[in-house]
Amino acid sequence: MTRKAVLLSLLTGLLLAAVSPAHAAGYRYWSFWDRTGTTWTYATQGPSTAVPSDGDVQGFRFAVSEDSADADKPRGTASFTAICGDTAARDGRKRVALVIDFGTASDAPSGAKPPASRTACPVVPRDATTAEALATAAKPLRYNANALLCAIAGYPETGCGEQVAGKKTGSEESGSDGSDSEPSVGLFAGLGAIAVLGAAAWRARARRRGNAA
């Protein structure tokens, strides 16, 4: 194999690596979020111990995540006014705005189809936990022996925080349809390098033919 052929082979391998999606180990589970202003923050306690106040916005997102820093945030409407604006306040009760994002097809267990995301405004006693508010709005809930929330509104039917082979990093949050519309820099660089080497190889062959003639 010639030197140029070797270089071309190596660059082709680099190109394939550049355009292949990056994967990382993760877990498939429901994450729990608090909303402050326009920002989602990963909750510091579970829904079974969190006690929201009237006017709070909380969210749940089903996805494959490595950890809390990698977790995908709930999508869609997240305004208390938009979710609970038509629900009147009541003495001794509180309104909690809930955003329930069932995630994407790529995060779903094999053969499962995620339901459409929804919002709810349960009115519950002042001392109710988030789990109790969620139970009034999105039954059935499913927990495991360690009190980990496994399913909301029956989704998913099986599994609970299981480890999965990996996830496409950034693949679901890059655009409105979950796709990345911009080719990577590595793709252009790899194609350019292969084109240059291809042109050089063609010129070398042409010179050899000319010398042979």
Residue range 135-172, pLDDT digits in tens:
999 999 999 999 899 999 999 999 999 999 765 444 44
Q: Is the pTM value of this prediction over 0.95?
A: no
With 70 as the cut, is the pLDDT of residue 116 above it? yes
- pLDDT bin (cut points 50, 70, 90) of residue 194 is very low
Secondary structure of 112-165 in HEC code, one letter for each residue:
CCCCCCEEECCEEECCCCHHHHHHHHCCCCEECCCCCEEEECCECCCCCCCEEE
What's the pLDDT at 2? 57
What's the pLDDT at 179? 34
Mean pLDDT of the chain: 79
What's the pLDDT at 165? 79
